[in-house]
Structure 1
Amino acid sequence: MQEDATVIELNPAAAGDTAHEPAAQREAGTVRVAAIGDVHVHETASNPYRDLFTEISDTADVLVLAGDLTDFGKTREAEILAEDLRHCKAPIVAVLGNHDHECGQPEEVKRILRQAGVCFLGENAHIHKGVGFAGVKGFGGGFGRHMLGAFGEAATKAFVAEVQQECMHLEIALRSLRTERKLVVLHYAPIEATVVGEPEQIYPYLGSSRLAEVIDRFDGVSAVVHGHAHRGAHRGETPKGIPVFNVAAGITKEGGRPYAVIEV
């Protein structure tokens, strides 16, 4: 069992300009985060996000990728995304999504994207200019009084155990951070409000309140971002009042961008 998380100071991506520092960050003293999930890069795509990542380099201090980076978790899909990410000069942190596991090679997807400068959360927490980043993929199980309990068949207990394990890793990562400001990155939703718009029948597969319970136990969490719910709502908050942003690419966001801009 993992006992502690490693905290790493983020540097700009290997392909980027180490002197890059957007004026907004210098003037306001905040870290500007661009967050997007569910880009679902397909193996037949040709530079689908190159221009977007170049734009983000000029407007944000950190790029956050909230899972479902590939369509089926194929090697070629990861390679195409990596090619585009090399045009992002800002540091990049990410978690994988369920689609990235489809081909059974999530570690290979990570390996390819790490070569493009992506820092994966989960096993590590990261810090950039005083802001701590912690995250995991998360898992389903439902929300509030409708949460699935670990009762009955072994398959049901295994389903609940999966989100409990994800929660444990998230708690370890958050505990390792000593920063006053923190941003949590997930793929699955931690609250019901940001999945509203999806069919209610699939809510249990879109996220779990157990994730929010962990987040609310820690001081200094400025915001949470997630994806997965393509037809959900952009914004909600945890029971403690921490802002939660659904940053799936298809969700309508301020300014009409496919990514959210969050100042931490």
Structure 2
Amino acid sequence: MPSTETITIAAIGDLHVAENSTAPYREMFAEISRVADVLVLCGDLTNFGKTSEAEILAEDIQTSAIPVIGVLGNHDYECGQPEVVAEILHEAGMTVLDEQAIEIKGVGFAGVKGFMGGYGRGELAPFGEPIAKAFVDEAMNEARKLENGLRSLRTERSVAVLHYSPIIDTLEGEPIEIFQYLGSARLADAIDRFDHVKAVVHGHAHHGKYEGQTVRGVPVYNVAQFVVREQFKRPYALLEI
């Protein structure tokens, strides 16, 4: 019988661990372990995707007493070795969502980094130069991976985990000129195909708004720590699912 127990999710994005950091999130992860059932990290976990940065975060992750899951962000790709960053974090006990989904205490989690592309009439179409088509292909591929992950879940409740935003609402506060670089509506299209998605968390938009919703009405939370800190006077959000 499916679990109906409510669980508490602590979500934070944009940790930006630097190579000169010393246990930057250890105390926070210990605090979260006392108040939440799952810790969700929404990308930009490192500053430049360096091995040393990932290793520092990995040490803090190992101290978490609850499951840690999440996705990478664009900063984690900067050094051209996202697979190395993901492997270091995986070895520390974090489930890095991308081609897989996971169930914890009756709640499903599926996620991808996402990509740029824009929204509505500003959404870039796969037309013209090959490089423009390749750009759109990347956005579509991330949306496909998210859809496949959500489809694989057999839970009545699930959470979509992203770095880039699936909607415009949570970008309010950022310059409108860069909205198309902060996310893609294709991600929301994938999310709205599934009734079991009860919440979406993302980061990336440091100056955006905390809360919005998809066309179907799924709550979307921008948990970039800079946004969350302003909202709650702490760097992480707590969500009941």
TM-score normalized with structure 2 length: 0.96
Aligned residue number for residue 122 of structure 2: 146
The structure 1 residue matched to 2:180, chosen from 204, 217, 226, is: 204
Aligned residue among 180, 183, 190 for 1:214: 190
What corresponds to 2:142 in structure 1?
Answer: 166
Residue pairs, 1:92-103, within 5 angstroms: 92-103=68-79
Partners in 1 of 2:224 and 2:43 — Cα distance?
A: 9
1:256 aligns with 2:233: yes
Aligned residue for 2:228, secondary structure, equals coil
Query: How far apart are the structure 2 equivalents of 1:69 and 1:59?
Result: 22
Q: Which moved more, 1:149-158 or 1:187-196?
A: 149-158
Q: CA deviation digits over 1:105-131, x for unaligned, max 9?
A: 111101111121100111110000110
Deviation at 1:29, TM superposition (A): 2.5
Find the partner of 2:18 among 42, 51, 65. Answer: 42
Consecutive aligned runs of 4 or more in structure 1 exceeding 6 Å deviation: none
Unpaired stretches in structure 1, ≥5 consecutive residues: 1-27
Q: What residue is the counterpart of 1:22 in the other structure?
A: none
Name the SS for the 2:225 alignment partner.
coil
Give, in whole Å, the separation in 1 of the partners of 2:132 and 2:207: 27
CA distance in 2, matches of 1:252, 1:94: 17
Q: How well do the aligned residues superpose, as a CA RMSD in angstroms?
A: 1.0
Residues 149-188 of structure 1, C-alpha deviations (whole Å, 9 max, x = no match): 1111111111110010001111111110010000000000
The residue that corresponds to 1:110 in the other structure is: 86
CA shift, 1:196, in A, is 1.0
Q: TM-score of the superposition, structure 1-length normalised?
A: 0.88
Shifted more, 225-234 versus 244-253: the winner is 244-253
Q: Secondary structure at the match of 1:63?
A: strand
Q: Say yes or no: does 1:223 pair with 2:218.
A: no
Aligned equivalents of 1:58, 1:252: Cα separation in 2: 19
SS at match of 2:160: strand
Comparing 78-87 and 65-74, the one that deviates more = 78-87
- Cα deviation digits, residues 20-67 of structure 1 (max 9, x gap): xxxxxxxx9211000000000000111111110000000000000000
Give 1:49's aligned amino acid. Answer: Y
Matched residue type, 2:117: G
Give the one of 67, 80, 91 matched to 2:56: 80
Distance 1:243 1:64 in 2: 16
Question: What is residue 20 of structure 1 aligned with on the other side?
Answer: none
> Partners in 2 of 1:227 and 1:94 — Cα distance?
11
- Return the alpha-carbon distance in structure 1 between the equivalents of residues 64 and 120 of structure 2: 39
Give the SS at the match of 2:208.
coil
Per-residue deviation, 1:252: 3.4
1:124 — aligned with what? Answer: 100
**SS state at 2:199 partner:** strand
- Name the count of aligned residue pairs: 237
Counterpart among 17, 35, 59 of residue 59 in structure 1: 35
How far off is 1:255 after superposition?
A: 3.1
Alignment-derived partner of residue 179 in structure 1: 155
Q: Which amino acid aligns with 1:191?
A: I
Q: 1:192 is matched with which residue?
A: 168
Deviation at 1:86, TM superposition (A): 1.4
Cross-structure match for 1:232: 208
Q: Deviations over 1:199-232 (max 9, x none)?
A: 1111111001110011001111110000000000
Distance 2:232 2:121 in 1: 35
Instruction: Tell me which moved more, 56-65 or 149-158.
Output: 149-158
Q: Which of residues 33, 41, 44 is equivalent to 1:68? A: 44
* Percent pairwise identity: 59
